[in-house]
Amino acid sequence: MGTRTRGFANNISSPGGVFDATDLNGVVPATNIANSSLTNITEVSPSLGYQVLSVSSDPPAPGTGQMWYNTTSNVLKFLGTTNVGAWASGGNLGTARLGPGGAGTQTSGLAFGGANAPPTATGATEEYDGSSWTAGGTMGTARYFVAGAGTQTTAAAFGGVNTPGGRVANTEEYDGTSWTSGGSLANVRSELGGAGTQTSAAAFGGYTGAASSNSTEEYDGTSWTSGGNLATARHQLAGTGTQTSALAFGGSAPPSKNVTEEYDGTSWTSGGNLGTGRFGLAGSGTQTAALAFGGTLDPPVTTATEAYNGTSWTTETSMATARRNLAGAGTQPSALAFGGGPSPSITGATEEFTGGPAPVTRTVTGS
């Protein structure tokens, strides 16, 4: 049998001659173990890499990526992951509003502008701490259907409607206390999408008063310059990500309201379509991990929520309050939704989304 470091006689138990290895300290050369003698193995150490096991029932605690063949059901299975999440109520805005701008994170959010009694615009700013909203500095130009970028203490607001039928191109910058003027957009518009930071933002799409726009502009903290045009002109779309890795999705572009486009800082390319085509929606996250929520199908107003992985959208848990022209902030697994309509039922409701990958057992099927 080859070299061994101790006798095994005491490890043979009766009856049946079963080999008991509970106190085995010896070393058995691998060449002396026949594969056919290794049976009823239901778990392999992750350090050895997961193997395809043959078992009569699913393992009680498999590791992510582990695969096994269930001889009872005659199916091949593996443990994968899925995105699951839930919305919970947060503190209401002090000023209910339609079409506000949003920036920041779930626990450090910023709401600015909006219309609390259309067509009356507001310049009210509020800051969220994860529980409640408090008043911040008032904007220099009251407006709604405004876009935003950045954080709670370094935000940018651009575009929007300040009077019935009146649109603005001006940009304002927030320092956590007050707003100051920045460079104006080259193209006057409202209902546009925004992404990025205060000193590196992107503005895209929107409505000029005559038609939907496909224009993209990039901000460096001082002035706006032209970027690559959207393939599909639209307004009331959502945007998220950064200036060089932005995502534009949804929007009013009949008959296609489910279009998604990805920006690389130079040009836009097509992404996966939304499952629920809509406009007046909001979003959060990055180009490869985004969340879309709310909006309207014209009609009805929807609570639909979807998650994007850089390729396709999947359905998530719906919001509690159906609304359009709301604002969003945060990340895909930690998002914030606030404000919205429809008019005249304008809301100050805030909802917090908590999600992330969760394990799920999947069955391998043929195509």
Q: Is the pLDDT of residue 11 over 60?
A: no
Q: Is the pLDDT of residue 8 over 50?
A: no
Beta partners for 80? Answer: 360
Cα angle 180, 184, 186; round to 5: 170
pLDDT in the model for residue 44: 56
pLDDT in the model for residue 5: 46
Please give the Cα distance from 102 to 125 (Å, whole number).
10
Q: Is the pLDDT of residue 17 over 60?
A: no
Q: In degrees rounded to 5, what are phi and psi of residue 48?
A: -95, -5
Please give the Cα distance from 52 to 74 (Å, whole number).
14
Q: Is the pLDDT of residue 184 over 60?
A: yes
Please give the Cα distance from 280 to 324 (Å, whole number).
5
Nearest to 283 by CA among 129, 60, 58, 102: 102
Q: Which two tokens stand for residue 230?
A: 């959207």
How far, rounded to the nearest angstrom, does the alpha carbon of residue 123 sit from its chain's CA centroid? 28
Fold classified for 85-358: Neuraminidase (2.120.10)
Task: Work out whether the CA dihedral 239, 300, 297, 308 comes out positive or negative.
Answer: positive
Q: Is the pLDDT of residue 6 over 50?
A: no
Q: Is the pLDDT of residue 324 over 80?
A: yes
Nearest to 218 by CA among 266, 180, 153, 283: 266
Q: Is the pLDDT of residue 361 over 90?
A: no
Q: What is the dihedral of CA 124, 129, 132, 138, to 10 degrees?
A: -10
pTM: 0.78
Which residue reads 């920045």 in tokens? 182
User: How far apart, in Å, are the Cα atoms of 57 and each of 76, 265, 366?
Assistant: 11, 51, 21
Nearest to 328 by CA among 110, 6, 17: 110
pLDDT tens for each residue of 213-249:
999 999 999 999 999 999 999 999 999 999 999 999 9
- Write the Ramachandran bin of 323: left for phi over 0, alpha for psi from -120 to 50, otherwise beta: beta
pLDDT in the model for residue 20: 53
**Would you kindly state where each structural domain of the chain is located, as residue ranges?**
1-39, 85-358
